[in-house]
Structure 1
Amino acid sequence: MLESLRLGVQSWYFKALLMVLVASFAVFGIGDIFSGGPSLGAIVTVGDTEIGGAELSDAYRRRMNAVSRQLGTTLTTEQARQFGIVDQVVQSLVSAALYDAEADALGVVIGDGAIAARIRMEPSFKGQQGQFDRGIYEQVLAANGMVEQAFIDSMRREISRDQLLGSLAGALPQSTQLADRLYRWRNERRTADYIVLKYDPNSAVATPDDTILRRYHGDNAARFTAPDYRKITYIHLTPDDVMGNITIPENELRDAYDSRLDEFSIAERRTVQQMIFADEVAARKAAGMLAEGRAFVALAKKLANQDPKATNLGDVLRDGLPGTLGENVFKLSTGETSPPLKGPFGWYLMRVIAVKQATIRSLEEVRALIHDELASDRAIEVLFELSNTLQDILGGGATLAAAASQIGAKLIYVAALDRQGRGADGKPIADIPQGLIENAYNTLIDEQSALVDSGDSGYLIVQVESETPSVLREFGSVRNDVIAAWKREYRRDKLENRANEIVERLNKGAGLRHIAAELKLGAVTTSAAFTRAGQDTGANVPRGL
């Protein structure tokens, strides 16, 4: 199988096709693919595989969420465009589809056993004992918005791609000497004796005279320069401004409820316990012991090494169990245990603790939810009409203040705003709408910005009244700040000089422990053996070591 894979993927057709696909997306880009709306058909076709708008949209959202978590902030659509996220997602989907198509053409088949083994080896799914934990596995899937069958399908494709890529790498000539050098370089371990010179922000430092401070003030002008400020007034129209005046008639509430009955229907559920065994013989042995009256949870711990968390699945839906397990479990009544069932991770014994019948939430239960959603939609429509009225009034020559008065909007005044959204006191200004800073600094003095979308289904327009240019603050007004900055730098320089003196003595043959004792620097620490990548350094070892 691997030899046939190597022969297939070494073809120039396969390699050229991959390069052409990647290059085409790099050249043309796909920044506007979402403009087609929900009816958008296939974005890309790779062989018989079509990548549709829904698949691309899901992958895009997952990538956006992942990058947002890494950066600690929510990315905007414009930032996503700048980072090239859409192009990255499409290239990833195209590459995956290309590998899948080639694997299918070569007849790569991945069995359930290989998938189960891969999942059991995944560190993210292991508990404190280092073994596969079904409970943790389900929590990880739920956190990533995946059902088990979809995850198993994706694992099947991933293993298939791994075999394909492995065959590519396997076909390359290997240098034993190079591999040996790389192995020794990567895995070489060293230990180190070290001391840490701690920065003390409260150590006593005499205040220098004003001559030194004034020179420091001038040499570090950027630290003590006030930013440029803009004085502005603005109108911010939001759905909340009109929500209070919106009433939804009873017949509309009922119509909306009737059209969404599927959404308010709660499917039948089972409260389930499970045991999983590697083979049928072990499962049948456990079934026999259960028939003798043995407790399910205790037996799962003894025979399957499952803790209660992995045994108790809680409430599950029919399609929430993989393969045919759902169909078999939903044939059981309260208190019944299934015979051994073949599943994706082995042989299962499933016990139903309770049956929860399907129900439909009443209109009264969801009335507030439906009302708020309908009112929110209506508010957006009303707000759009209000924004048109505002533009008409301003187009007729009215001032921003007069226009706000005519439509009943609040005119907000900001005496000083800098490019970071702070006021003259250096503190952040509260409740700044999205786009305010950008529009305030992109609009000329005594001019109004365009009426723009504020990102919260609202509208924003800004009038720039005046500007205060950036200027170096007078020494007298920032003298205390200058003293504090000078002392911080003095302490850092002193600490660095001491460290350099110690290094010089070490290079001349003095011992680290002798120096530490002489200078009363505390105990010398010996690290654990670690690699160049910092593996196994321990939590307290400086990363730069």
Structure 2
Amino acid sequence: MLQALRNKIHGWPAAVVLGICVFAVAFFGIESYFVSRVDTFVAKVDDHEISQQDWQNRLTELRQQLAATPNAPYTVADLEKPELKKQVLDGMINQVLLQKANTDLGLAVSDTAVRDAIGGDQGFQVDGRFDAGTYRAVLAQQGMSPAMYEAKVRTGLATQMLPEAIAATTLVSSADVDNFFRLHDQQRDLRYVSLPRPSLADASVADGDIDAFYKSHIADYTTPEQVSVQYLEVKQADLKVGEPTDEQLHQYYDKFKQRYAQPEQRLASHILVNVPKNATPEQQKAALEKAKKLAAEATPANFAKLAADSSDDLGSKRTGGDLGWLEKGVTNPAFDAALFAMKKGDVSKEPILSPDEGYHIIWLRDAREGDSKPFAEVRGQLASDWAKAEAERLYNEKAGQLADLAERNPGSLEPAAKELGLAIKTSPLFGHQGGEGIPQDPKFVQAAFADDVLNQGNNSSLVQIGKGDAIVLHMAKHNAAAPQALATVKDAIRQRILDERVDAQAKKQADELVAQLAKGGDLAALAKAPVQTAAGLSRNKLGEAKDVPPAVLREAFNLPRPAGGKPSWATVQVGNGTYAVVAVDKVTDGDPAKVEKAQRDALRGQMMDAMARAVTLEYIDALRAKAKIQVANDRM
């Protein structure tokens, strides 16, 4: 093309044209190589992106926690609901905002805090003490390295720094506690009368009224869209895993030998001299001099006492500076290098400086050399681990085959069923809200109503119902949403219209009665019905008032205090078109002086927690208002 241009244009016009071309490429064509990108974040907080992978990992963690928590407020299936997914993402956004605030305020999580948090986790303890072998084994099962887990713990601690600081400055006065108990232990005396359900003088309903009601409430008389699907299911729990041969176990042992090894470990104690963040030269010098003095004094005989008296590590000073058994990579590099260069029984003669903490004086109390457990000793564990891994391999293999066969034969499940020896199952009819059995799972429902399955008649892609449970489904029957015939629901509509007329008339009669009572009328005489009384009802024991309708109780404790010697009046619907008239005659506040100190202290703590949460949420709202937050709903 350029040669053709050259042949047709000569001299300065050619130079101008080529210059324009170069200019255009320089500022438009090449730029696109640098600025063109495809966003994949689920949310972006200023410059920080929350990736889809991070968000999915958080959902996976929550699923595992819910599955292992009896009586949890949510189920695993609930996490597929859009509103809960949004709550999870909002929580991750809040974490990012808090971490940014930490950075802005110069707050950081120390290595000591991370170590104390890990050491205090009972899941890593044996006989009440941190065990490095258990720590490594648990992390290996979760597919995490110590560095990955420590970063996760550090992030979690960082997220709590500001909320804990807010909580530490939250105050609840004695007057606040007194006011709570005055309200909590409040008692009320009330009267009420249940009014009879009125009768309609005219119970006729015109066909025109029925037709108009039907049209204006058509959604109430529409049969919802429903489907029934065929599906194939691969479950890891149903797969049979044979007994491993010695050769297979030896291969597994050689491949994962590190899981069955005892790493090199050191039993250590330390004394920490803290160096403040952004310390002045004078502060650094003072800390170093203090550390050198302690190092000169420290011996195995007096080390525990020195640590208890002088260490700035609050987590270990109570136990004489004891850090337990440590292995390489658990502490920071400077501490690590010094510790593993020492000999058993040594006390470091020079303080060791570690970032974000300060100076350490270390006493190496004992040492264990690393070694591997022999095959025979771990054969039982090997067989168990191999069987678990083999079951996962078989499941992934068969689930992959199912997905591939379903995609290659999109119009039917028969080929996949025949190839894999699976039975085609059929679900009952269910709607968008799910149904009994497997349609309870939101992912199953979502796949059934997806366009490729519902409208195009194709097999679905592989649906992971749960860990080790995969399904492919195909439409069997589809009932579109359709209004019920007016003739079918005519009688129900007539009764509904009559019921609404009765409700309106009952409400009007009750309101008129209250208006008369407010002027000084007598309840029994005006209501012409028996008056019920209940004295000394306590706000904190409403469940004990079995004879009083719940709606009457709720309204009685919502009413204002009686004033001017006159009761407070209200009407309340008690069900089935009937109303009650309620009067509160007397209100007696609880006596805070009768509350025991332990109960007061417990309440004060609860109120402080609640107030701290509220203030923290307000603080996060303020951070949100200042930040630029983008949420990609289409990637959730």
TM-score computed with the length of structure 1 as normaliser: 0.50
Give the residue type in structure 2 aligned to 1:301.
Answer: A
Matches within 5 A, 1:245-324: 254-255=250-251, 257-262=253-258, 265-278=261-274, 279-287=287-295, 290-291=298-299, 293-294=301-302, 296-304=303-311, 306-308=316-318, 311-324=321-334
Unaligned runs of at least 5 residues, structure 2: 1-33, 67-72, 122-134, 159-169, 204-212, 275-286, 496-506, 508-545, 566-583, 594-603, 615-636
**Does structure 2 retain, via aligned residues, the 8 Å contact 1:237–1:460?**
yes
> Among the aligned pairs, what percent are the same residue?
9
**Does structure 1 retain, via aligned residues, the 8 Å contact 2:265–2:325?**
yes
Select the residue among 186, 195, 209 that pairs with 2:183. 195
Number of residues of Structure 1 aligned to a counterpart in Structure 2: 403
Counterpart for residue 14 of structure 1 = none
Counterpart for residue 359 of structure 2 = 347
**Does structure 2 retain, via aligned residues, the 8 Å contact 1:230–1:468?**
yes
Counterpart for residue 397 of structure 2 = 381
Distance 1:315 1:58 in 2: 35
**Alpha-carbon distance, 1:293 to partner:** 2.6
Counterpart for residue 346 of structure 2 = 336
SS class of match (2:348): coil
**Does structure 2 retain, via aligned residues, the 8 Å contact 1:272–1:350?**
yes
Structure number with the bigger relative contact order (C-alpha 8 A, sep ≥ 6) is 2
Counterpart for residue 27 of structure 2 = none
**Does structure 2 retain, via aligned residues, the 8 Å contact 1:233–1:462?**
yes
**Does structure 2 retain, via aligned residues, the 8 Å contact 1:390–1:407?**
no
Q: Deviations over 1:38-60 (max 9, x none)?
A: xxxxxxxx9xxxx9x9x978866
Distance 2:426 2:260 in 1: 45
Give the residue type in structure 2 aligned to 1:502.
Answer: R
Q: Deviations over 1:396-437 (max 9, x none)?
A: x68x6x9757753244444454544443xxxxx369556222
Matches within 5 A, 1:377-456: 377-389=393-405, 395=411, 404=417, 407-423=420-436, 429=437, 435-442=443-450, 450-455=459-464, 456=467
Give yes or no for the alignment of 1:523 onto 2:569: no
Give yes or no for the alignment of 1:501 onto 2:560: yes
**Alpha-carbon distance, 1:461 to partner:** 0.7
Give the residue type in structure 1 aligned to 2:310.
Answer: L
SS class of match (1:324): helix
Q: Deviations over 1:118-145 (max 9, x none)?
A: 557x9x95xxxxxxx97248659x9998
Distance 1:459 1:57 in 2: 23
Q: Deviations over 1:38-87 (max 9, x none)?
A: xxxxxxxx9xxxx9x9x97886677768998999777679999989969x
Distance 2:346 2:461 in 1: 62
Q: Deviations over 1:205-241 (max 9, x none)?
A: 96965979x9xxx9xx99x999848463532422527
SS class of match (1:523): coil
Select the residue among 329, 346, 366 that pairs with 2:382. 366
SS class of match (2:329): helix
Q: Deviations over 1:238-281 (max 9, x none)?
A: 25277316787765654454344456544311122222134345
Give the residue type in structure 1 aligned to 2:460.
Answer: L
Distance 1:317 1:292, change over 3 A: closer
SS class of match (1:435): helix
Give yes or no for the alignment of 1:135 onto 2:116: yes
Distance 2:56 2:353 in 1: 31
Distance 2:473 2:371 in 1: 49
**Does structure 1 retain, via aligned residues, the 8 Å contact 2:268–2:323?**
yes
**Alpha-carbon distance, 1:497 to partner:** 6.5
Give the residue type in structure 2 aligned to 1:499.
Answer: N
| Larger Cα-atom Rg | 2
**Does structure 1 retain, via aligned residues, the 8 Å contact 2:296–2:349?**
no
Distance 1:361 1:226 in 2: 69
**Does structure 2 retain, via aligned residues, the 8 Å contact 1:197–1:499?**
no
Counterpart for residue 336 of structure 2 = 326
Distance 1:233 1:504 in 2: 65
TM-align CA RMSD = 6.7
Distance 1:72 1:446 in 2: 32
Distance 1:302 1:460, change over 3 A: same
**Alpha-carbon distance, 1:312 to partner:** 2.2
Distance 1:63 1:383, change over 3 A: closer
Distance 2:425 2:325 in 1: 51
Give yes or no for the alignment of 1:238 onto 2:250: no
Matches within 5 A, 1:184-223: 193=179, 195=183
Distance 2:187 2:223 in 1: 31
**Does structure 1 retain, via aligned residues, the 8 Å contact 2:434–2:441?**
no
Distance 1:289 1:431 in 2: 71
**Does structure 2 retain, via aligned residues, the 8 Å contact 1:446–1:463?**
no
**Does structure 2 retain, via aligned residues, the 8 Å contact 1:31–1:81?**
no
**Alpha-carbon distance, 1:321 to partner:** 2.1
Q: Deviations over 1:142-200 (max 9, x none)?
A: 99987599879x99xx9xxxxxxxxxxxxxxxxxxxxxxxxxxx99x997756359899
SS class of match (1:319): coil
**Alpha-carbon distance, 1:358 to partner:** 1.4
Unaligned runs of at least 5 residues, structure 1: 1-23, 34-45, 104-113, 126-132, 159-185, 424-428, 477-485, 507-516, 527-533
**Does structure 1 retain, via aligned residues, the 8 Å contact 2:267–2:325?**
yes
**Does structure 1 retain, via aligned residues, the 8 Å contact 2:459–2:473?**
yes
Q: Deviations over 1:343-400 (max 9, x none)?
A: 23233222233322212355534343245324422432233334545667774x68x6
Distance 1:338 1:67, change over 3 A: same
Give the residue type in structure 2 aligned to 1:380.
Answer: N
**Does structure 2 retain, via aligned residues, the 8 Å contact 1:247–1:375?**
no
Distance 2:86 2:394 in 1: 33
Give the residue type in structure 1 aligned to 2:560.
Answer: E
Distance 1:208 1:266, change over 3 A: farther
Distance 1:442 1:61 in 2: 21
Distance 1:474 1:283, change over 3 A: farther
Distance 2:310 2:561 in 1: 61
SS class of match (1:320): coil
Distance 2:81 2:433 in 1: 21
Distance 1:408 1:290, change over 3 A: same
**Does structure 1 retain, via aligned residues, the 8 Å contact 2:228–2:426?**
yes
